Amino acid sequence: MVEYACRLADADDAEPVADLYRASGIAGAPAAQGLVERMLQTGNAFLVADDDPYLDGAVRFREDEGIGWFDLLVSARPWAGAQLVRAVERRFQDRGLRLSRAHIPDIPVLAGYFARLGYLPIGRRTSDSGESELLLERRLPLLTVREQRRSDAAAIGELTGEDPWVFEQGARPGWFVASDGDRVVGVIQVADAGGGLARVRVPVLASGYSGRELELWMLDRAATYAETNGFHTAEVAADASLESVRKGLESRFWVRDGAAWRRIFFTPKPAGEADWD
C-alpha cells in the first residue's frame, strides 16, 4: 500500500487536480485548471494525495456549525481516497469537531465503501440534478490529553521505553497521555527538579501524529499541572521536534532560554496589596 502525503493543495496543484476531476466525471467538480485556481482563491480548501511527482487523489473539506463536511472526493489509485478521508478527519479532530459528514450518490457499492470507513447513512435527499443522495456520518474519536491510567501501561512503555510494570500499579503523578479515542498516541511527564522548577519531558508522539500541534496541547496540560502544584517555573528541552510549534509556544508564554523553553507562572498579588512607587 502506498503511503501518501496528504497535504493542502496550492496553486501549483491546480492543473493535476483539474485532470483528476476531468477524468472522474464527478458532477460539479472543477474540471479545468482555471476553475480549481478560482476555488482555491475564494476560500475552498482541498487536500491532495501526493505521491511525488504525481497527485493520485483530492478532496474538498469545510467546517459548518461545528460539523466537518467533505465532498468532491476523487481517487486515481487504490487507497488514495481512504487516506484522504482519514486526513480530513484528523483535521476535523484537531479543530475539536466530533462529526464528519458527506453526501454521496445513493449507490450500494459507494455506501459499502464508506461503511468500511465507519460512515453510516443518516438521511437522504434529492440533488439539484434529480439524483438520490445519501447523507453519511461518522462520529470521530475524541482527541484529548488526560492523566495516565493503568490500562495505558503498555502504550507508554512502547512510546517511551519505560518499564510498563510501573504504570500498571496505578496512575503516576505528573504523567499524562494524548489519546485518540481509546488509543494512546502521546506521552508527557512533569517531574520535580527542585527549587520550584518543574522539568517537563519532551512530548513523545506516535507515528502519524506529529505536525498536528498536539505537542502544544500536551505542554498546556503539563504547564497547568505544574502551576497548580506550586511550581514557579516549567522547563522543557528545546528539542528539534518543538521547532514546528515555536510560534505556538511563544503565544503561550514559553520563552526560549538557551537549550530550553521556560515558562514562568504569574502569581497575582493578594487583594489590597499595592505596588511600590
User: pLDDT tens digits, the chain, 277 residues: what are they?
Assistant: 788 999 999 999 999 999 999 999 898 899 999 999 999 999 999 999 999 889 999 999 999 999 999 999 999 999 999 999 999 999 999 888 999 999 999 999 999 999 999 999 999 999 888 889 999 999 998 889 999 999 999 999 999 999 999 999 999 999 999 999 889 999 999 999 999 999 999 999 999 898 889 999 999 999 999 999 999 999 999 999 999 999 999 999 999 999 999 999 975 555 555 554 4
- The 8 Å CB, 24+ separation contacts for 12-17 are 13/46, 13/48, 13/55, 14/40, 16/48, 16/54, 16/55, 17/46, 17/48, 17/55, 17/58
Are 68 and 130 contained in the same domain?
A: yes
CATH at 232? 3.40.630.30
Report yes or no: 46 and 17 within 8 Å, Cβ to Cβ: yes
In a domain, 155, yes or no: yes
Are 212 and 93 contained in the same domain?
A: no
Are 185 and 226 contained in the same domain?
A: yes
Report yes or no: 177 and 206 within 8 Å, Cβ to Cβ: no
Domain count, the chain: 2
What secondary structure, in 3-state letters, does 105-122 show? Answer: ECCHHHHHHHHHCCCEEE
Peptide bond into 53 cis (omega under 30): yes
Are 65 and 95 contained in the same domain?
A: yes
Look up the domain containing 185 and give its range: 143-264
Res 248: pLDDT: 95
Dmax (CA) of the chain: 77
Res 277: pLDDT: 45
Are 50 and 115 contained in the same domain?
A: yes
In a domain, 274, yes or no: no
Q: Using CA atoms, how far apart are residues 140 and 164, in angstroms rounded to an integer?
A: 29
Are 187 and 73 contained in the same domain?
A: no
Are 29 and 127 contained in the same domain?
A: yes
Q: Quick one: DSSP state of residue 195?
A: T
DSSP secondary structure string for all residues of 70-114: EEEEEESSTTHHHHHHHHHHHHHHHTT--EEEEEEES-HHHHHHH
Q: Quick one: DSSP state of residue 173?
A: T
In a domain, 275, yes or no: no
Residue with cell 520563552: 255
Q: Using CA atoms, how far apart are residues 29 and 190, in angstroms rounded to an integer?
A: 50
Q: Using CA atoms, how far apart are residues 265 and 144, in angstroms rounded to an integer?
A: 23
